[in-house]
Each structure stands twice: as structure tokens, then as C-alpha cells.
Structure 1
Amino acid sequence: MCGIFCSINCIKNNKKRFNKNEQSEWELCKHVIKARGPDNLDSLKKELSEHWYGQFCASILWLQGLQPISQPLMDTDCNILLWNGDVFSGNMFKENICDSKVILLSLKNSFNIPDTLKEINGPFSFIYYKKSSKQLYFARDRFGRHSLLFKISKNFKSLLLTSVAVKAIQNIMELPAIGIFIANLNFKEIQLSCIPWYEPNERFINILTDIKAQFNININIIESKYLPKIEKLYLNILPTSKMGFLKFIEIMNINNYDEIMDYILKDVNIDQIVNNLLVLLNESVKRRVTIMPNFCKNCTYLNISFCQHVKVGILFSGGLDSAILAALTHNHININETIDLINVGFEKKINCNYEVPDRITGRKTLNELLEICLGRTFNFIQVDVSQEELEKYRSTSISNLVYPHATVLDDSLASAVWFASRAEGTIYPTKQSYKSTCRVLLLGMGADEQFGGYMRHRTILRRKGWNALAGELRLEFDRIAERNLGRDDRMVADHGRQSRLPYLDEDFVNFVQQLPVWERCCPVDKFPPGLGDKLLLRLLARKIKLHEAAKFPKRAFQFGSRIANGKENAKNISKYL
């Protein structure tokens, strides 16, 4: 994981290659870029063409290979790479070799850079300068799991790209995770093109229209007949035989959730789907907790072969999604190593009471994990955030990291993730002070959008039917990058940790997306909250003996941690940001 920064500026005269504006932007961003990568910080300045020069900077958190590799990387052809990502599988994954070096070599030898980039399995944002064509490529992966912001000056004489910025840099926006952007540096003014990840649709065109409006710049769309299509919605009426969970609706008497789930699991087809889902999610978790150094984030440069500190943490509410991640993580980490379960609670009034809903749920699920993960030590970290501390950091660090987002919902979710990923509190039940040393933090993002976890999904199904629910899930998954993932990546990375998202693994997502919506969830009135929503995932939890966690109703993070004010409109601009 890295913090990457690139500033491309027009050469005004031969005597002054690097102007004050460029240097001031780097000075503004330097401290937040450095926080993302505590292991190294380096930079490179280079003339890119007769019209342009560039400044490339990167901070490093070591996550792959046998030793840290500094960036920016430059090959023998003077191509330059800034890579903030993880290759987890596929042809690009090379065990014990730093993935940034593999990517640089692959791009150097590539006859088609976009096709090479599409082969990458894993989260990333990147910036790559190809000297022979004098083109700058930049993008976020197709799910948008890592942050990248960008800005074009009004006179088209400069381009800024950065993992994170501050509010003092105005008119910056989050780069949409819709494709690979290309800046052609053969001309005196910036010219942009975009190669979509998928066949362009109405949403893609609307996003490009917004960019054009903000920067008053034209963007050429480079299409290809080989682009995959976004799956069409289920617009046909349901089969009369009723597929998936639907066939159980009329025969089930809802008295006991355990009996219902056990009964459904006796269906051979459903049991096979659950087994396939479990195999894929287990492999996803394995990749994310084993592909890393044998050192915590604090022991990188100590002269030791192995450290005894915690290396993996989980943002842990005790709910369904985080409980599954904790149980599967246990399968892949040496039994002698401790796993941190990080549980955050906010003080609602000045009374030092932090018994928030997620705290209560978290302790219950901790006890269940201890029963099924025999021999494992979990640190249940109680992160208690006072009103005073919230006000202090929300108006300083968090408000800059959230930028350019600014709603009430962004404020509450970002604050919750920032304090949770700081992971500083006390260990339950000893009340011993503790700050996690984990290098990697697992989060459950993506589960609700794929398995129908929100209350609005139940409402849409009741009012408009299954086809409308399928459309809503498709839309929510498509826009998760712009609504959540970039913002949350900036929160976690500010503490020098890497966020990893097992529910957004490519293999896992591809399997889930090909399932009809009625095989993922069943949020009908007869299957109440805690059962019908995310039913497929609840069956998986039941299968791995998380009997209680499988039944917990969905609770939004901002309410479970008690940071949100239910009287505020989540879409309004936050007065704190």
C-alpha cells in the first residue's frame, strides 16, 4: 500500500522547470501522503516531453516481496510507475516478489497497456508514464477499492493526481472507477481519453459529463469490441416454479430461525451454492491475511527474522459480515498469533458511557468465536471515543481526509472508520491500554450491496418487486466506489495500515453477480430482518457454526457505534466538514 502523488505541469521556460504552485501542492499533501506509507518516502522530477514535466512522489507500506521497494519506480526505458495496490492472484501474482516490480516489467513489455492492466486481480490505483508514446495512464480498479483524486487547472496547463489531498487544494474530485484514463502529453494543453472497464452505459456517460462540466474539458472515449458488458438486469418474469429461496416462503412457519436455516440447507442446490460461496470467500480471506510480511507495521526495519506482534486486525461490530471474516481468518493464521478485533463506540453524552449496540453485539460474537476457534487468542479492542476527542480530530484530520466528500453520512462513517482503524483503546475484559500493531485491517465492505443487507431493499421488493430489487443491487454495487470505498481507504491508510476487503475479491464477486437476486436474499415480509436479508450469507455463517451471529439483524455502522444523529438528514452537507 502506498500514498502516490503526481503533478504534471507545462514547461513555461527552460530556466524554471518547477513552479511555485506545483511545489506548494506537494507541500500541502506531503504529510497525508507520508502517513499512508511509514516505511519510505521518495520523489522524482523529470521532463516528460517538450511541453511537460512531472513530479512523482510515493510513500510505502511494505506488503509484498521479501523487502520494501521504494517508489517511484523507473525502468531502463525511463517509464515511470506509481503503484498503490495488491496483486492477489492470476498471471501477475508472483510469490515473494514485490508486485510493483512485476507490474512495471509487465507494462514495459506490453503491446497493449489497457489489456495488461485488465489482467490484474486485486485492488489498486496507479499512475504510469510511458515514455515512447508520451502518455500518462492512471486509474482505480474496476471496483474502486483504493483512493485516487485528480484536478485539472482551468487553463489545462496542469494535472494533479494524489491518493489523498487537503481542503486547501480546491476543485479536486475523486477519480471515477469507470476505466483507464490517458493524458496525452504530446500537445501544449492536456488532452484526456478514457478506456472503459466495461461497455459504456448511461451511468458511464453521466459520470464523464460531470467531469467535463467541472473541468470544462473534453474526454475522448476509446471503445473496444472486446469490452465486457455489465450484466443486464433480471427483466423477465420469475419462473412459475419459483427459484431459490422463494419456494420456501409459503411453507415456512417462522418460529425458529435456526430450524428454518437448517431446513433450507437440506436443499441440495442451495447447499451447493453455499459451499461454493464458502470456498471462494475462504480463499479471498486467505489471500488477504497471508500475502504480507512476517512483521507488524512497527517492526519492519528491526534486525529480526519474525516478530511476535499482531499483524492482522478486523473492523469488528460483531455482526454477520465481520463475524464471518474473523472465523475464516482463524483458518489461515498460525494458532500462536493473536488477531485484533477492533470495536468502536462513541460517547453520546458527557457521561463516559460507551455501551453502544455494536459493543454489546461484539462481545456476544467474541464468545461465540472463542467456542469455535479453539486455541485462538483474540484481542477485543474497545475503542472509546469521547465527544471532546471526536470534535478535535473531526475538524482537523478527518475533515481533510474526507475531502472532497462532505455530507452528514460521510462525516459519521468516515469518523467511525478513522477512529476504529487507529485501533487505540483497551482490551476487554482486562481494560489494559493497547494500540494495535496490525499491518492489515479487514473490512466487510461490499457485503450489503451484494446480498441485500439494507432496509431499503426490503421496501423496494415490497413496493416494486424482484426486478426492481435486482436493479437496485446492481446500481448500489456499481456506485460503491464513489460513495464509500475511496473515502474509507483514506481513513484506514492514514494510520499506516492497509484496508483489505474480502467481499470484493474478483472471484467472489463474479460468482455472486451471476446468481439471481432470489438466490442471494429473500427480504420478504414473511422472512423478517435477521433472516431474509443477506439470507445466503446467513446460511454460510450457520454452516461454519456462527449460530448466533447468523441471526443478528443488520445495523448501520454509524448507528451501531452511536456516532450518528438520527434527526439529521444524511444527504445534507455536514457542518463539521
Structure 2
Amino acid sequence: MCGICCVVALSSQHSIHDYFNEDVHCRLRRRGPDSSQQLIKSVCEPSYECLFSGHVLHLRGLMTPQPLEDVNNNIFLWNGEIFNGVHVGDSENDTEVMFRHLALCSSEADILSLFSSLRGPWSFIYYQASQHSLWFGRDYFGRRSLLWQFSNVSDSAFCLTSVSVNVESCNQCQEVPASGIFRIDLRDCATTKSLSLTLFPWKYSCTEETEEEIFVDVLDQVSKYLPNHISLVVNESKLCLRAPVIPLNRTISEASAERASTDSSNTSPVVSIETLQGYLVEEHKKKLVHQFIDVLDEAVKRRVLLLFRDEDQRTKEVQGVSHRKAHVAVLFSGGIDSMVIAALADRHVPLEEPIDLLNVAFMTKEQTKQTGTTKNSINQEMQLDLHCGQENHKDLGAKIGDHLSCFDVPDRITGRAGLKELEALNPSRTWNFVEINVTLKELKEMRRQCITHLIYPLDTVLDDSIGCAIWFASRGEGYISKQGEMKPYKSPAKVVLTGIGADEQLAGYSRHRVCFRKYGPEGLNKELEMELGRISSRNLGRDDRIIGDHGKEARFPFIDEDVVSFLNSLPISEKADLTLPRGIGEKLILRLGAKELGLKASSILPKRAVQFGSRIAKLESNNEKAYHTCSRLKLF
């Protein structure tokens, strides 16, 4: 994880530093606390100036400060992880490896071939001195943030940065679309005093679309993110990047089409562990489930092992805690996504190393008056916890009494139940269940100081709720229970695993059921294809900025290229069955996988979005819609 930034001035009217906001510099340093450097490149003929700013979070290989510059004056900024595709030795740093490969590229096609081969999240900025070219872009899914900001016509300056600031006086930032990679000919732009971007889009290796159709579509999409005075063109050679995943399988079997047209509400099975077991009797289904778990397991393995572990570092936060510090944390609600990730991480994280489970809760509005609705929701969670021991039921039952904590929101209840399941799965592991409690006062204060800038340029109520919840959760400051006492604890883990991507691919949201009822499996396929296509602009850039603000790296196992390709290869009927009730039908293949991993009650928990499970959505306003522009993100 790094904070990267490049400012380019094509005019000598102002100093390059005039275009580099000091607040942006501070936010970049928070992303990369281990090293910060700047480099200015001035070119006289044609006249332009570039400022490169690199801020490194050291996670693998030797510490490698950025920006990198070679003997040919090429300059490289890298914010990514190479998990596959290009070999990175155990003691090597992937920034150096990528720079070395780029230096060997003698053509545009070579550069595209290199980036097409990468597996893992990335964003980059590369100055190719011999060609006066600036290359930049994000990976296919947009798992790493990169923003662009253009000055007005007369100034002829622009900025690329991992994170910006939400300041009304500045020109509007936008996320760089994850539609391909871009090149700017700085020599040409400096001569004409106007900016033109050349696009190299992604293309499936097997597609019926012609290059012409691809370029027309992608130009229309990307142009929406650019000011009118910035031109966008396709490269003359019509070169494309090879997409790292296969296209979605849209096959609809007769059986699934027939099920979709039949009202099964009267014959739907009861939601139970035994229901899942019934599906696993079928050999074909069981084989697919095991294949899915294998590919997801490999994705988790890459993300928990490829990081620097300093054996001399010990945790000093809490007496009685394992003397080894946690390097890996999971954003943890106790729901199916986070439970499966935690169970798979347990297979690969060294046994003597704790795993931190980060569970966030926002103080309920009325601490002293617990409504019947709250009690009912907690009772429902207890009933779903079918396989907890009697003593755990008593513990949960006590919570519903007069002393119900103002932080016992639904995700806290299911999180504790999930902890019991994980402890039963591996009693030898130290599981640090970190209870992160947020008051309304702290929420308002940290949103104003920090979070609004990280969510920017997104601005909806949904962005606010999810962004705030993830920021507090990934900060990892809370309490853990040791010897019956709650003690302060701050997670030292630099890697944060998150379950995003499961719902988008496996029909986990309630809107998928609505779509399925209206348009059947064909409509659902289109919806899921759209979900994955917009995940870069809707979720991942934001989440990367939010988690990176703590000097931690977000890693997304469900959006591993191999996982996505496997799920894309399956017809929708093998992944989900929305004729079945909530808690079984959505994410069916994942639930079956959870059952095979030995998980119990969590495998049949219905989907509950973080903004509702953590109760942040109920904290400040009850009459907003998720898509509304959020007034709380505006600076006054």
C-alpha cells in the first residue's frame, strides 16, 4: 500500500508547488507512513514540469522508497501487490520488479502485455522519459484508488493522486475510470498547451465485440468523467489490455427457468443447517462447492502470507494477550462473508500469530430506552445461533435484560456468536474479537476532520454510512475480553481482509431478489454483470482510501482474478437460487462452502448490510435514501 501523486504543469505561470496541496500531502503520508519522498522533473524543450510524490507502507521484500528513478530518467510510482503473473521472489519488492520490467519494454504493446499479465490490485504512474510519456491507470476492478484533477483551460495543469481533499475552492476530482490505462504525450501537450489523453482499454480475450465497438463504448463511458476542455482519444494502433478474467456465463438451464416462473413460497424449506446438508448430497454440487472453496482458499492464502513479518515485534497493548502481534485483521460482522474469510485465513496464518476480528458498533440513539424492535432483532439472532453452547445462549440472553449495552447492535451479537464458532473450529488460535464502539460525538468529529476527505469525490448517504463504518472498523481501536475483563486494544495488523465482492457476484443484496422476481434469471445475470462492472467506481476506490488512511492495506479475496473467473464460469443456478428463502438462496454456493468448512449458524445468516448491522444508518437521520446526496459530507 502506498500513497502516490504526480502533478504536471504545462505552463510556467506558477511554481509546480502551487498546484500541490499540503493537505493532500498529509493524507498521502498517512497512507504510506514508512517512507516519504518527492522528486521534481523539469524539462526545458518542450517546457513542462512534473512533481512526483511517493509514500510507502512497507509490506513485502526490502524497504523500497518511492518514487524510483533509473539511469534513463524514467520515474515510477506504484501502489499495488503482485500476487501472480509476474514473478516476485520472497525477498524482492514488487515495486522494483515492476520498474525493472517496464525498463525492458520497447513499445506500447510491451507495456500493455506487462500490465495484462498482472494478478493483484494496483494503480501506478510511470514517466517514460525517452517518449515524454506519462502512463497511469488502475487494475481491472479498480481495487486501488487513483483520482485525477484538471485545472482550468488557462492553467494547463493536472494532478493524479491516491487521495485528495474535499475543498470547495478546488477543481472537482474524479476517480480515474478502471476502463484501461492512459497515456499522456507531455511533449505534445506542452506544445499545444492543451491536454489530450490516449486510452488503452480492457478487452476479453474471447469476445464477439469488434475493437471498433469496444472503443466506442469505452470512450462514451470515460468521457463522462472528463471536463470539456480535455480530449480523449483511442490509441492509433487500436491496442487493448487483456482482461484478467473470463466473461460471465449467461447460460440459463430449463430447470432454473422453470423454477423462476413457479411460486415456491408455499414449498420453501425451513432455513436450517440440515437444508444446506441436503444440497451437498448431490455429487455434482458438492464437487463445485469444493472447487470454489479451493480457489477462494488460495486467494486468501496469497493475501495473508505475502507480507513482511518482523519476528522481533511483540504486541504491548494488553497483558495476557499472545506475545506475538497480529499481522492480519478481518472486517468482521459474524456474517457469512467475514466468517468464511476468517476460517480460511486460519488455515494459513502461523498458528502462534493472533488474528484480529474487527467489529464496529455505533451507539444506539436511545441508550436508556431499548425498544421492542431492538429486542426482537436480537432474539432473531439468538434463534439463528442454533449450535452455540447453552452457556453462550445464557450470555446472549443476559444481554437482552435491563442491562442491554447501547453498543449491542445486530453485528455485535452475530459477531460474538461467530467468534464462538471460530474458537470451536480452532481452539488453539488466539482470536482477538475487537469491540469498536463509536459515539455520535466521535462520529461527527472524525467525519469532519478526516472521513469526508477520504470518501470524496463520492457523496451519497450510502457512501457516508459505509465509509464511516469501515474507517472506524479498520482503525482497530477498541476493547478485547481477557480473563473476563474488557481491556483497551489497538490492532497492529497492517493487512485488513474484507468480504466485499461476495454479494455482487452471488446475488446477496435484496435488490437482486427484486430483479429476479421481475425479470427472472436473465435479468439477474444482467444485474450481476453490472454490479461487477461498477464496483470500481461504487466501492473499491472509496474503501481503499478509507482503510489506507490508517497505514493499512485493504485486501479483497472475493475479487481475486481466479475467484472471479471461477464464479463467472458457472451458470447463475449454481451460485444462487432466489426461489429459496433469505439465509439460503442468496450466496448459496458460499453457504454450502461454509458448511463444508465446519461453520454452522453463520452459514444461514441472512445478508445484513454494514450500515444496518452496525446501526450507523439509524444514528443521525431516519428519512434519507441511500442514493441521496449526503449533506453531512459537505464542508461548511
TM-score range relative to shorter protein: over 0.9
Give the deviation of 1:93 after TM superposition: 3.1
Aligned to 2:333: 317
Give the deviation of 1:27 after TM superposition: 1.4
Task: Tell me how far apart the structure 2 counterparts of residues 313 and 10 of structure 1 sit (CA, whole Å).
Answer: 44
Task: Tell me how far apart the structure 2 counterparts of residues 226 and 46 of structure 1 sit (CA, whole Å).
Answer: 29
Task: Tell me how far apart the structure 2 counterparts of residues 519 and 421 of structure 1 sit (CA, whole Å).
Answer: 33
User: Is the alpha carbon distance of 1:224 and 1:163 closer, same or farther for their aligned partners in structure 2, counting shifts above 3 Å?
Assistant: same
Task: Give the one of 463, 467, 470 matched to 2:522.
Answer: 467
Q: Which moved more, 1:156-165 or 1:279-288?
A: 156-165
Alignment of 1:538-553 (within 5 A): 538-553=591-606
- Check if 1:221 corresponds to 2:248: no
Give the deviation of 1:133 after TM superposition: 1.1
Give the deviation of 1:2 after TM superposition: 0.3
Aligned to 2:400: none
Aligned to 1:28: 23
Contact 1:183 1:193 in 2 (8 A): yes
Contact 1:345 1:355 in 2 (8 A): yes
- Check if 1:363 corresponds to 2:362: no
Aligned to 1:304: none
Segments of structure 1 that go 5 or more residues without pairing to the other structure are 301-306
Contact 1:297 1:437 in 2 (8 A): no
Question: SS where residue 255 of structure 1 aligns?
Answer: coil
Task: Give the one of 494, 511, 519 matched to 2:566.
Answer: 511
Contact 1:42 1:59 in 2 (8 A): yes
Task: Tell me how far apart the structure 2 counterparts of residues 368 and 233 of structure 1 sit (CA, whole Å).
Answer: 34
- Check if 1:276 corresponds to 2:294: no
Give the deviation of 1:295 after TM superposition: 3.1
Give the deviation of 1:572 after TM superposition: 1.1
Aligned to 2:282: 267
Q: Which amino acid aligns with 1:91?
A: V
Contact 1:297 1:439 in 2 (8 A): no
Contact 1:338 1:377 in 2 (8 A): yes
Task: Give the one of 524, 529, 532 matched to 1:477.
Answer: 532
Give the deviation of 1:26 after TM superposition: 3.6
Contact 1:126 1:138 in 2 (8 A): yes
User: Is the alpha carbon distance of 1:133 and 1:365 closer, same or farther for their aligned partners in structure 2, counting shifts above 3 Å?
Assistant: same
Contact 1:296 1:311 in 2 (8 A): no
Task: Give the one of 247, 250, 253 matched to 1:239.
Answer: 253
Task: Give the one of 487, 497, 502 matched to 1:432.
Answer: 487
Contact 1:244 1:270 in 2 (8 A): no
Task: Tell me how far apart the structure 2 counterparts of residues 381 and 244 of structure 1 sit (CA, whole Å).
Answer: 46
Task: Give the one of 211, 228, 241 matched to 2:225.
Answer: 211
Give the deviation of 1:154 after TM superposition: 2.1
Aligned to 1:285: 300
**Identity of aligned pairs, percent?**
37
Task: Tell me how far apart the structure 1 counterparts of residues 598 and 75 of structure 2 sit (CA, whole Å).
Answer: 49
Q: How many residue pairs were aligned? A: 561
Aligned to 2:378: none
Q: Which moved more, 1:161-170 or 1:494-503?
A: 161-170
Give the deviation of 1:232 after TM superposition: 6.4
Alignment of 1:271-350 (within 5 A): 271-295=286-310, 308-349=324-365
- 1:486-525 deviation digits (Å, cap 9, x = unpaired): 111111010000111111111111111111111111111x
User: Is the alpha carbon distance of 1:298 and 1:576 closer, same or farther for their aligned partners in structure 2, counting shifts above 3 Å?
Assistant: farther
- 1:441-497 deviation digits (Å, cap 9, x = unpaired): 101111100101001111111111100000000001110110011111111010000
Q: Which amino acid aligns with 1:207?
A: Q
User: Is the alpha carbon distance of 1:53 and 1:299 closer, same or farther for their aligned partners in structure 2, counting shifts above 3 Å?
Assistant: farther
- Check if 1:400 corresponds to 2:418: no
- 1:526-556 deviation digits (Å, cap 9, x = unpaired): x100000000110010100111111000000
User: Is the alpha carbon distance of 1:232 and 1:327 closer, same or farther for their aligned partners in structure 2, counting shifts above 3 Å?
Assistant: closer
- Check if 1:170 corresponds to 2:185: no
Task: Tell me how far apart the structure 2 counterparts of residues 561 and 510 of structure 1 sit (CA, whole Å).
Answer: 32
Aligned to 1:181: 182
- Check if 1:573 corresponds to 2:629: yes
Task: Tell me how far apart the structure 2 counterparts of residues 146 and 483 of structure 1 sit (CA, whole Å).
Answer: 13
Task: Give the one of 559, 564, 573 matched to 2:612.
Answer: 559
Question: SS where residue 617 of structure 2 aligns?
Answer: coil
Give the deviation of 1:557 after TM superposition: 0.6
Aligned to 2:444: 391
Contact 2:202 2:241 in 1 (8 A): no
Question: SS where residue 390 of structure 1 aligns?
Answer: helix
Task: Give the one of 38, 47, 51 matched to 1:51.
Answer: 47
Alignment of 1:186-197 (within 5 A): 186-187=187-188, 188=190, 189-197=194-202
Task: Tell me how far apart the structure 2 counterparts of residues 337 and 244 of structure 1 sit (CA, whole Å).
Answer: 50
Task: Tell me how far apart the structure 1 counterparts of residues 352 and 4 of structure 2 sit (CA, whole Å).
Answer: 35
User: Is the alpha carbon distance of 1:425 and 1:350 closer, same or farther for their aligned partners in structure 2, counting shifts above 3 Å?
Assistant: farther
User: Is the alpha carbon distance of 1:533 and 1:563 closer, same or farther for their aligned partners in structure 2, counting shifts above 3 Å?
Assistant: same
RMSD: 2.5
Q: Which amino acid aligns with 1:191?
A: S
- 1:92-127 deviation digits (Å, cap 9, x = unpaired): 433220000000000110232122111111101100
User: Is the alpha carbon distance of 1:354 and 1:201 closer, same or farther for their aligned partners in structure 2, counting shifts above 3 Å?
Assistant: farther
Contact 1:185 1:191 in 2 (8 A): no
User: Is the alpha carbon distance of 1:366 and 1:248 closer, same or farther for their aligned partners in structure 2, counting shifts above 3 Å?
Assistant: farther
Q: Which moved more, 1:201-210 or 1:131-140?
A: 201-210
Contact 1:402 1:410 in 2 (8 A): yes
Question: SS where residue 578 of structure 2 aligns?
Answer: coil
Q: Which moved more, 1:449-458 or 1:41-50?
A: 41-50
User: Is the alpha carbon distance of 1:182 and 1:298 closer, same or farther for their aligned partners in structure 2, counting shifts above 3 Å?
Assistant: farther
Give the deviation of 1:268 after TM superposition: 1.6
User: Is the alpha carbon distance of 1:573 and 1:192 closer, same or farther for their aligned partners in structure 2, counting shifts above 3 Å?
Assistant: same
- 1:382-412 deviation digits (Å, cap 9, x = unpaired): 0000011001111220111111111111111
Question: SS where residue 470 of structure 1 aligns?
Answer: helix
Aligned to 2:318: none
Greater relative contact order (CA < 8 Å, ≥ 6 in sequence) = 2
Task: Tell me how far apart the structure 1 counterparts of residues 281 and 260 of structure 2 sit (CA, whole Å).
Answer: 15
Contact 1:425 1:434 in 2 (8 A): yes
Task: Tell me how far apart the structure 1 counterparts of residues 632 and 546 of structure 2 sit (CA, whole Å).
Answer: 16
Aligned to 2:115: 117
Task: Tell me how far apart the structure 2 counterparts of residues 230 and 434 of structure 1 sit (CA, whole Å).
Answer: 40
Alignment of 1:407-426 (within 5 A): 407-426=460-479
- Check if 1:158 corresponds to 2:171: no
Aligned to 2:77: 82
Task: Tell me how far apart the structure 2 counterparts of residues 507 and 245 of structure 1 sit (CA, whole Å).
Answer: 30
User: Is the alpha carbon distance of 1:186 and 1:43 closer, same or farther for their aligned partners in structure 2, counting shifts above 3 Å?
Assistant: same
Task: Tell me how far apart the structure 2 counterparts of residues 76 and 83 of structure 1 sit (CA, whole Å).
Answer: 18
TM-score, with structure 1 as normaliser: 0.92
- Check if 1:456 corresponds to 2:453: no
Task: Tell me how far apart the structure 2 counterparts of residues 86 and 239 of structure 1 sit (CA, whole Å).
Answer: 39
Contact 1:314 1:341 in 2 (8 A): yes
Aligned to 2:398: none
Give the deviation of 1:75 after TM superposition: 1.6
Question: SS where residue 127 of structure 1 aligns?
Answer: strand
Task: Give the one of 434, 448, 460 matched to 1:381.
Answer: 434
Question: SS where residue 134 of structure 2 aligns?
Answer: strand
User: Is the alpha carbon distance of 1:295 and 1:576 closer, same or farther for their aligned partners in structure 2, counting shifts above 3 Å?
Assistant: farther
Aligned to 1:8: 8
